[in-house]
Amino acid sequence: MAASEAGGLDALVAKLLVPVAAASGAIVFVGFFFRDFVGEAVTGQGWVAISLVFFGSGLGYLAVLPYGGDEDEGSGDYLLRVRHTRLTTTLRAFARSQDPLSMGLPVTVFAAFFLLQAVFPTRTGAVVTAVSGTILRVGGPLFLVAMLLAVCYCAVLLLGPWGDIKLGGPETEPTYTYPTYFTLVFTAGIAAGLVFWGPAEALFHYGTPPPYFGAEPRSAAAASDALVYSLFHWGISAWSAYAVIGVPIAYFVYRRGAPLRVSTLLTPFLGVDGLDSVWGRLVDTLAVFATIGGIATSVALVSQQFLAGVAFKWDVTVGTAGPLVFVGGLTLIFVLSSATGIHRGIRRIAGLNIVLFGLFALLLVALGPRSYAVDRGAAALGRYVVHFVPLSLHTGGEWVASWTVWNWSWWFSWAPFAGLFVAALSRGRRVRTVVFTTVVATSAATVVWFLLLGGTALFVQQSGQADVLAAIAAPGGSEAVAGFPLFAALPLSELLVFLFLALIVVFMTTSADTSTLVVAILATRRGLAPSTGSIVFWGIVQGGVAVAVLLVGGAETLQALAVLTGGPFAIISLVGIAGLTRSWYRNERGHTSVIARVVDRLPTIQAHHDVDPPEKDD
Q: What are phi and psi of 524, to 5 degrees?
A: -90, 145
Spans of the chain, pLDDT less than 70? 1-10, 35-41, 43-44, 67-97, 475-477, 553-559, 561-562, 604-618
Listed residue (397, 370, 388, 380) closest to 222, CA to CA: 380
User: How is 416-480 classified by DSSP, letter by letter?
Assistant: HHHHHHHHHH-TT-BHHHHHIIIIIIHHHHHHHHHHHHHHHHHHHHHHTS--HHHHHHSTT--GG
Which residue stretches of 208-346 are H helix? 220-234, 236-256, 267-270, 278-314, 321-340
The DSSP 8-state label assigned to residue 208 in this structure reads S
> Largest alpha-carbon pair distance within the chain?
111
What is the Cα–Cα distance from 538 to 521, expressed in whole angstroms?
10
Segments forming the whole domain that contains residue 143: 128-361+370-452+493-589
d(CA 546, CA 323): 9
Task: Name which of 117, 243, 158 is nearest 545 in CA terms.
Answer: 117
Across all residues in the chain, what is the average pLDDT? 83
Tell me if 321 is assigned to some domain.
yes
Q: Using DSSP, state whether 286 is helix, strand or coil.
A: helix
| Rounded distance between C-alpha atoms, residue 135 and residue 137, angstroms | 6
Phi, psi of 430 (to 5 degrees): -85, 150
Angle, alpha carbons 49-473-305 (nearest 5°):
25
Number of domains in the chain: 1
Torsion of CA 607, 611, 617, 618, to 10 degrees: 100
150 vs 573: CA distance, rounded Å: 8
Q: Which residues contact 339 (CB under 8 A, 6 or more apart)?
A: 82, 345, 532, 535, 536
Residue 468 falls inside a structural domain: no
Q: What is the pTM of this model?
A: 0.88
Please tell me what DSSP assigns to residue 265. G
Q: Which residues pair with 166 in a beta bridge?
A: 430
DSSP lists the bridge partners of residue 524 as: 98
47 burial via Cβ count (<10 Å: 0-12, 13-18, 19+): buried
Q: Are 231 and 383 in contact (CB under 8 A)?
A: no
- The answer to the question of residue 27 being in a domain is no
CATH (domain of 256):
1.20.1740
Q: Say if CB 283 and CB 266 are below 8 A apart.
A: yes
Angstrom CA distances, 551 to 132, 327, 378, stand at: 20, 11, 42
531 forms bridges with which residues in the sheet? 83
Q: Which of 2, 48, 70 is nearest to 305 (CA)?
A: 48
pLDDT of amino acid 1: 44
DSSP state of 590: S
pLDDT at 571: 92
The rounded distance, in Å, linking the Cα atoms of 522 and 542 is: 14
Bridge partners (DSSP) of residue 98 are 524
Round to whole Å and give the CA distance between 89 and 360.
Answer: 44
- Is residue 151 in some structural domain? yes
What span, in angstroms and rounded, lies between the C-alpha atoms of 92 and 87?
9
Asked if residue 263 is part of any domain, the answer here is: yes
In a domain, 68, yes or no: no
Tens digit of each residue's pLDDT (9 = 90 or more) over 186-235? 998 887 788 888 899 999 999 999 999 989 999 989 999 999 999 999 99
Amino acid at 448: V
Residue 9 forms part of a structural domain: no
Burial 594-618 (b: 16+ CB within 10 A, else e): eeeeeeeeeeeeeeeeeeeeeeeee
Find the length of the chain: 618
Query: Would residue 17 count as lying in a domain?
Result: no
φ, ψ of residue 77 to 5 degrees: the values are -110, 30
